[in-house]
Structure 1
């Protein structure tokens, strides 16, 4: 029998780390709104349930990626994906969220009715059954990546390759790598993760093939101060202290690298030279033409990438591909990289709202034509909140601030008997700017799909947790820009 339609105050879309975060916050509200979670997949976890390639892990520390209300007790600071997934699922269970998640429902349409002051949410199951729900607020915890497929480069000669060709986003279960020669195409976080993991799993040789260099920073995967804090303080206090310390250090390093890029280049280069064998061509493979944090700086926990490159089982090649050939990858300079497994770690695709159509009073909303208010609502779209993380820090830092701000909005409206909140863009926010201030390939490819930001508050998306923490706590909900009725 089909489940009954939902009729709730808040409908959360997505049961990844952002969705579980806001759901746990909702669960802690006394006399709060009614709520439920829709999830397209059959299990909780989002990204950490989807990605199964070898070595998959976070690219930021778990103390800031994790939930501020549930301490992390693991031994590592940058854990593997399976450990993060277990932590997210355990948190959902502990806070009573698991039973409120409705699985196997992909949201395809969001339609707002001003007369009824609510959203009609259409969801489709994998068996084709269409379900229709109602909610006063929709909270999009879908991120801005496409989960169905990543960015796939059409490599000439795909049909000629004698070996396997896979994309990390859809890593085949049971794919053997032992004894194989692997070429990983890409230079981002996924490629940097895959190379040492494939070496560890027994690949005969792994080549990371990149068109241009990227920045890599080796960071320790254990935190002595965290271990000390956990011995000296109660678990919650230790977690908050470690989190605050990591936020401060991350903010400081980001600001220094952005303000003094040449000095930052020298520091990053010097650290690589110290970890790699004498004479290693650091300037060929790890000296980008762009400044640090024009694109994300890749993290190598305990320098695992550099350790692998210090052996004869791994290498980085900076060159352009001509085509795939039966024996591997032929480069434009004529060289052939032998491979019986080619991994296209060529990035992700941007997609807002999980690809759902959005309508307001019968009119289709062009999401790319809207402006982002406080980093979490869209101009002239009522009662729709979205969780978007930082580009220079962990995703959860901003996602949790968004959840807390939303609950403050809810309480404000509940006390006054208000039902609708809609940001009104009148041009006073200044000139349009891209939502994501990065030059990474996936951002350039999909920037036209995302909303815009302005130059001034509350339309400017500031990449600063400290700034957002202060404004979330102190800025009034009724600021004259957010129309409340």
Structure 2
């Protein structure tokens, strides 16, 4: 070029269209992509992920020791056997997901660094239009799709929950939330206080106990844990005698699922016995003289909040060794040198870790509109925790609290692909869920019954979530054992499904 040529004007950004758009490339989105590829091979689809790679929570969280708190035989997908230990690290889980992507050639369908800014539905066009920011160029792109499959999880990753305690600004040390763990932190020889009592605390504390001078767990109230060996003895025996992994995987999943279902039943029907069993598991590591009643006996019955598995009892081993200790008390205020409890004890600290939970994000906090009207999801009623009244051609993957999240990914993969094929068979372009005539007078209730399950992040955000109805199909029951039979047998022509938008006939279909 001489420098005198007239440069061509940049072409306007084109609109990319797909039959199905999947939001998120975490455990749900990768599973959804697999089901699209295998069950709807004739449909186009794309996965948009705002992070730089796949993995979701297993990519975002960088805190020491991050691992699953449920078994991988059920957390792994049903279509790919998990061959490692029952409790796995974030790296192991991402490696497993990477194999799923590579083995099924899903990578070509995933766009990383693509953040959804808005989603607008047009009934006239039977189309979702999404504005999407591409991180690499900061340009805003436009995507359209016929069906929107929301797989973005339920964390607000960038804004974790930290209570506003008095005088936090006076503390001379460092305050860290595990969700925003810094790369350059130096823990060696430091006094650390970890505020919290849940799965994150149970992960971080044993992971850093050997490096710090001492770590104190400061909890307002205790949590239930299940300590045990990070091994499934039945799997080990089956492998030893030469059973193939597909068979082992199928048997292990079924056994774990049965045990989980039975354990949940026992928590409701045999509460005292289960409580005693859980406390005995802790006592086996800490001994008869440790104040179990004060530090590890919750005020609620088992399974009203999630119960984390503690592999090899590593949290309790750290306490027994003296490298970690537990204080059960409330925070009065921060001091220059640490934390003063309401009981009058000052806990010295160089670093305070606030393992105090997360803020819930409803559908990625993306603004949705339907026919130019903003959608307030708290005004909708959920259909089995998957779809919402008044919001067409969209589903949200929300997993289980008492069982592995991924179990619902597979169930919903079957359901959504079956629904898409059913719409094609009917020659329609739109599907909504609506209350039936018999539902007109049913009671409308919060998303979940707090008497059944009541962790802080749900209670803080209940006002943002869709509602449930008093009738069964308008609830997310959290009951995999029944849903695995019910969801595959949903009658897609039943009254709650409202189909519309006839497809334009092509010459081929007109002659059919």
Normalised-by-shorter TM-score class: over 0.9
TM-score by length of 2: 0.91
TM-score (normalised: structure 1): 0.96
Could you tell me which residue of structure 1 aligns to residue 222 of structure 2?
Answer: 213
2:178 is matched with which residue: 168, 172, 177? 168
Query: Deviation per CA, 1:207-253, whole angstroms, max 9, x where unpaired?
Result: 11011111111132111211233453322222121111111111111
SS at match of 1:242: helix
Alignment-derived partner of residue 99 in structure 2: 90
The question of whether the paired residues in 2 share the 8 Å contact of 1:108 and 1:355 is answered with no
List alignment gaps of at least 5 residues for structure 1: none
Cα deviation, 1:88-107, whole Å, max 9, x if unaligned, reads 12211221112211111111
Contact kept, 8 Å, 2:414 with 2:488, in 1: the verdict is: no
1:161–1:89 distance in 2 versus 1, CA, 3 Å? same
Which range moves more in the overlay, 435-444 or 415-424? 435-444
Counterparts of 1:198 and 1:428 in 2: how far apart (Å)?
55
- Name the structure 1 match of 2:387: 377
2:445 corresponds to? 433
Asked if 1:159 corresponds to 2:159, the answer is: no
Q: 1:363, CA displacement in angstroms? A: 0.7
After superposition, where does 1:49-64 map in structure 2 within 5 Å?
Answer: 49-64=59-74
**Residue 258 of structure 2 corresponds to residue 243 of structure 1:** no
Following the alignment from structure 1 to structure 2, what is the Cα–Cα distance between the partners of residues 122 and 278? 60
Aligned to 1:226: 235
1:133-165 deviation digits (Å, cap 9, x = unpaired): 100000000122212221122232222222211
2:503 is matched with: none
**How many residues in Structure 1 have an aligned counterpart in Structure 2?**
483
CA–CA distance in 2 between the matches of 1:196 and 1:292? 23
CA distance in 1, matches of 2:448, 2:94: 26
Shift in alpha-carbon separation, 1:30–1:396, aligned structure 2, 3 A: closer
User: Cα distance 1:307–1:132, how it changes in 2: closer, same or farther (>3 A)?
Assistant: same
CA contact (8 A) 2:14 2:142 kept: no
* Aligned residue among 467, 471, 474 for 1:452: 467
Q: Name the counterpart of 1:263.
A: 273
1:105 matched to which residue of 2?
114
Deviation at 1:441, TM superposition (A): 1.1
Match of 2:325 among 304, 312, 315: 315
How big is the shift at 1:172?
A: 0.4
The secondary structure found in structure 2 opposite 1:92 is helix
Contact 1:144 1:353 in 2 (8 A): yes
Q: 1:397: how far off?
A: 0.8
- Partners of 1:451 and 1:229 lie apart in 2 by 44
Task: Give the one of 118, 130, 141 matched to 2:151.
Answer: 141
Task: Specify the alignment match of 2:19 in structure 1.
Answer: 9
Tell me by how many angstroms 1:43 deviates. Answer: 0.6
Q: Are the equivalent residues in 2 in contact too, given 1:229–1:242 (CA < 8 A)?
A: no
Query: What's the C-alpha RMSD, in Å, of the aligned pairs?
Result: 1.7
String of CA shifts for 1:301-320, please: whole Å, max 9, x gaps: 11111111111110111011
> Matched residue of 1:391: which SS?
coil
In the TM superposition, what is the alpha-carbon distance from 1:454 to its structure 2 partner?
Answer: 1.5
Moved more, 125-134 or 301-310: 125-134
Give the gaps of 5 or more residues in structure 2. Answer: 1-9, 501-512
Structure 2 contact 384–477 (Cα < 8 Å) conserved = no
The equivalent residue for 1:188 is 198
Cα deviation code 1:67-86 (max 9, x no counterpart): 11111122x11011111111
Determine if the alignment matches structure 1 residue 324 to structure 2 residue 334: yes
Greater CA drift, 399-408 or 272-281:
272-281
Distance apart, 1:428 and its partner CA:
4.4
CA–CA distance in structure 1, aligned partners of residues 40 and 223 of structure 2: 48
| Rg comparison, structure with higher value | 2
Note the C-alpha offset of 1:180: 1.2
Match of 1:481 in 2: 496
Equivalents in 2 of 1:109, 1:12: separation in Å? 14
Match of 1:122 among 131, 136, 139: 131
Distance 1:478 1:156, change over 3 A: same
